[in-house]
Amino acid sequence: MTDWYHLFSDRPSEYAAIIYRRFLERLNTYAGDKTNEEYLRQQALRYLLPSIHLLKSPFAFPGMVEAVDLLRATVAAGEKRIVIYGDRDADGVTSASLLHLFFREQLKIGSADLVTLVPREEDKYGITPGVAARIIAEKPTLLITLDCGSSNKAELATIAAQTGCKTIIVDHHFIPESPADYPQVEAFINPKLLPEPDFARDYCTAAITLRLVQGILFSYSREYHEAIGLKTATAQVVIRDGIIDQQTDFSACARQYVLGIDAGDSSTSHDLLKIFEHTARENYDMRRMFLAYQKMPTAISPLEVFNAVQSASFRKSHTILSQYLPLAAIGLVADLMPVYADNRILVREGLNVMARAQDTLPMGLLALLKKLNLAGSVAEQDLGFSVCPAINAAGRMGNATLALKALTETDPLEATKAAFALTQINAARKEASQSSLDLLEEALDSRSHDAPLAVALHDNFHRGISGLIASKIAERFSKPALVLVPDGECYRGSVRAFRNENVHGLIDALAEHLIQYGGHRQAAGFSVAKEKLSAFIDAIFEIAPQIFAAVEADAAAEGIDPFRNFHPPLEIESKHMRTPLWDELLLHAPYGVLNPHPVVALKKPGKVEVANLGKTGAHAKIKFTAPADSNIEGVWFFHNGEANNAAGSEDLEISGEPQIGKFMGRMQYRLKITRVEGIKK
């Protein structure tokens, strides 16, 4: 197989190479027999060179052209009323905020022509009849549903019949099995409509929404819908809107490019290689791409070269797009999407914008980052630990509107107030999670201990955070967890995977017991009538061993969790624990699901010195006596009193995640300790 690693790497290094290889192994497990040499080439290229210019064309999504054309026609119309409806969680709210801000700021759609809605406390997931009534009351001419709508054929038909509106669905939830059950709308964008293993299938809604915005921006260029011919030594293709057009004749292209062959003296043919080289002079990513192409022309396909060169030339649209990138990154991290391919590029770019160009950020997001002490210094870990939970908290506590307001506010003072309210509601959410978890012993179904999943039910669980409780239980028991909470005449439930178990498949197999359900492979929600509850729970325990058998076998065979945890850790001697090593270990960031954050195990750390961090003493700062580089310090969160026992111990086995970030206002290299063994009690 081709050694992509040395072809694309600027700074090949031993540890970074291991991290890359492990990513490829996980990807193989994940995509399974659907991978092939071409798929792996595309993955390797994007992993080692995660440039925004390597994003595939937004028009590769089915429904994108229809959505863009419909939006443009609506914007041009004199009389219009656009209604955006986004789901309550961070992905839904960031999607709604992103599109709302883009319409207001860039397309100059006035407030009278644009209404953005999110669920109220009592609304269940999706376009329920109640939600449909709210939308109808707004008299839309165009409805855009974000992070929902894929399974709402009937409700969307009712809305269209009563208002005459046209509809665009932007969603990534499971689609109905039969195309006959697809909603009959003007544009249906859902990556699940793409064939496997297309890696765009793992987009979340906020990321697709960003690509929709990119598509709209592109549609105002003269290249939109233009047929462009591209000729290489071995083939000639027609490209339209960044994708291969099979229908159009090559000779019908007014503009033509050649790549790797002589352009001749034709006045209509341009030398793409020359333009590529020129672009490489002004753009770091393009330079790396060009160097790799020079070394091995098969490393980057002609279509990728064409799209990258074109993308790099659209400077103005990049400036506009980049301010919305952080919202897409938040949606991706909040929805725990696999961090590879386009997703990883978007998270990386989003983090870059947040860290380096905070003046360009939406006012509301900037206010929130300031409130969280993260302005100008957001690191990868901060998104998952601080930003996403704060945005999610509003919807979970029944006030998604608050998150929408915080993210779309354009007045600095109001934005600050909204950000404050968001952090307050997040504090209330934390309290509710803790008091719910305190009930776990009473709530846990005793069959959970011997079953491949845990089931918990309690009348005093907080209703809005059942998903969160399920995640915590899954972590605690290292297996999938299902949580049930009373909700009026029925029970509402959430189920979360621990690894890559197909929890949606479990719920799907139990559909006969349920009123409604929906979700993804790793997270699903449902509701069940009170009188059917006990039969439903019996059925779960009966069927779960079958559903999860395959995953259990995989896990047993490998002894590792291929998706979330970096295992086994990289062993390093403490004398090598220096800041350049930290840079090396973080070379392939951003990390996340499918590309987990590397974990190191320190050998011979010497004596440790322990100092408490913060007021409560829940966290500790650890200094190692052996390593020469005192710039790296250990931080042990929630050590449960263990840190004090570790003080003065020698040669403990310490594992943790290397992190670089601005902590308490200064740049720091640190080891976030996750495991300590060998403490004498």
Q: State yes or no: residue 171 binds Mn ion (CB under 5 A).
A: no
3-state DSSP helix/strand/coil percent for the chain, to nearest 5? 50, 20, 30
Interacting span for Mn ion (CB under 5 A) from 22-30, 123-131, 198-206, 447-455: 198-206
Q: Is 567 exposed, middle or buried (0-12, 13-18, 19+ CB in 10 A)?
A: middle
- Residue 204 vs 443, nearer CB to Mn ion: 204
Minimum distance, C-beta of residue 127 to Mn ion, in the bound complex (Å): 15
Minimum distance, C-beta of residue 503 to Mn ion, in the bound complex (Å): 15
Tell me the per-residue interface mask from 203 to 232 with Mn ion, x by CB under 5 A, - otherwise.
Answer: -xx---------------------------
Minimum distance, C-beta of residue 91 to Mn ion, in the bound complex (Å): 3
Q: Could you say which DSSP state residue 569 is in?
A: P
User: In sequence order, what are the beta bridge partners of 516?
Assistant: 527
- Residue 91 vs 241, nearer CB to Mn ion: 91
By C-alpha distance, which of 3, 2, 4 is closest to 49?
Answer: 4
- Residue 97 vs 219, nearer CB to Mn ion: 97
As a whole number of Å, the CA-based R_g of the chain is 26
Minimum distance, C-beta of residue 173 to Mn ion, in the bound complex (Å): 7
Q: Provide CB contacts within 8 A for 320, sequence distance 6+.
A: 106, 217
- Residue 57 vs 205, nearer CB to Mn ion: 205
Look at the alpha carbons of 466, 124, 515, 176 in this order and tell me if their dihedral is positive or negative: negative
User: Distance between CA 485 and CA 482 in Å, rounded?
Assistant: 10
- Residue 208 vs 217, nearer CB to Mn ion: 208
One DSSP character per residue, 443-506 reads HB-GGGGGSSSEEEE-TTS-GGGHHHHHHHHHHHHTS-EEEEEEETTEEEEEEE-SSS--HHHH
Minimum distance, C-beta of residue 112 to Mn ion, in the bound complex (Å): 29
- Residue 148 vs 540, nearer CB to Mn ion: 148
- Residue 147 vs 657, nearer CB to Mn ion: 147
Q: From the CB of residue 313, how many other CB atoms can be counted at a distance below 10 Å?
A: 16
Look at the alpha carbons of 647, 653, 657, 661 in this order and tell me if their dihedral is positive or negative: positive
Total residues interacting with Mn ion, rule: CB under 5 A:
5
User: Distance between CA 132 and CA 156 in Å, rounded?
Assistant: 7
- Residue 126 vs 452, nearer CB to Mn ion: 126
Minimum distance, C-beta of residue 205 to Mn ion, in the bound complex (Å): 5
Q: Provide CB contacts within 8 A for 51, sequence distance 6+.
A: 285, 286, 288, 289, 308, 345
- Which 519-558 positions form the footprint of Mn ion (CB under 5 A)? none
Minimum distance, C-beta of residue 284 to Mn ion, in the bound complex (Å): 32
Minimum distance, C-beta of residue 172 to Mn ion, in the bound complex (Å): 6
User: 3-state class of 397 per DSSP?
Assistant: coil
Minimum distance, C-beta of residue 274 to Mn ion, in the bound complex (Å): 43
- Residue 166 vs 520, nearer CB to Mn ion: 520
Q: State yes or no: residue 584 binds Mn ion (CB under 5 A).
A: no
Minimum distance, C-beta of residue 75 to Mn ion, in the bound complex (Å): 26
- Residue 448 vs 471, nearer CB to Mn ion: 471
Render the burial of 301-310: b for 16+ CB within 10 Å, e for the rest.
Answer: bbbbbbbbbb
Minimum distance, C-beta of residue 207 to Mn ion, in the bound complex (Å): 10
Q: Is 541 exposed, middle or buried (0-12, 13-18, 19+ CB in 10 A)?
A: middle
One DSSP character per residue, 118-177 reads ---TT--SSS-HHHHHHHHHT--SEEEEES--TT-HHHHHHHHHHH--EEEEE--SPPPS
Minimum distance, C-beta of residue 150 to Mn ion, in the bound complex (Å): 11
Among positions 59, 88, 102, 147, the unique one binding Mn ion when judged by CB under 5 A: 147
- Residue 191 vs 562, nearer CB to Mn ion: 191
- Shortest-Cβ-distance residue relative to Mn ion: 91
Q: Is 144 exposed, middle or buried (0-12, 13-18, 19+ CB in 10 A)?
A: buried
- Terminal Cα distance for the chain, rounded: 51
Minimum distance, C-beta of residue 122 to Mn ion, in the bound complex (Å): 21
- Which 304-343 positions form the footprint of Mn ion (CB under 5 A)? 335
Interacting span for Mn ion (CB under 5 A) from 22-30, 201-209, 417-425, 451-459: 201-209
- Which 590-619 positions form the footprint of Mn ion (CB under 5 A)? none
User: Distance between CA 87 and CA 118 in Å, rounded?
Assistant: 6
Tell me the per-residue interface mask from 248 to 277 with Mn ion, x by CB under 5 A, - otherwise.
Answer: ------------------------------
Minimum distance, C-beta of residue 382 to Mn ion, in the bound complex (Å): 20
Tokens found for residue 141:
């001419």
User: Distance between CA 460 and CA 443 in Å, rounded?
Assistant: 9
User: 3-state class of 628 per DSSP?
Assistant: coil
- Residue 45 vs 204, nearer CB to Mn ion: 204
Is residue 603 within 8 A of residue 571, CB to CB? The reply is yes
- Residue 97 vs 283, nearer CB to Mn ion: 97
Interacting span for Mn ion (CB under 5 A) from 70-78, 143-151, 219-227, 454-462: 143-151
By C-alpha distance, which of 143, 76, 135, 85 is closest to 109?
Answer: 76
Interacting span for Mn ion (CB under 5 A) from 18-26, 146-154, 382-390, 400-408: 146-154
Q: State yes or no: residue 91 binds Mn ion (CB under 5 A).
A: yes
User: 3-state class of 246 per DSSP?
Assistant: coil
- Residue 91 vs 657, nearer CB to Mn ion: 91
- Residue 242 vs 395, nearer CB to Mn ion: 395
Minimum distance, C-beta of residue 204 to Mn ion, in the bound complex (Å): 5
Measured CA to CA in angstroms, residue 475 lies from 334, 453, 479, 496, 672 at distances of: 17, 11, 7, 10, 18
Interacting span for Mn ion (CB under 5 A) from 67-75, 91-99, 445-453, 535-543: 91-99
User: Distance between CA 509 and CA 504 in Å, rounded?
Assistant: 9
Interacting span for Mn ion (CB under 5 A) from 162-170, 199-207, 433-441, 592-600: 199-207
User: In sequence order, what are the beta bridge partners of 659?
Assistant: 670
Q: Which residues bind Mn ion (CB under 5 A)?
A: 91, 147, 204-205, 335
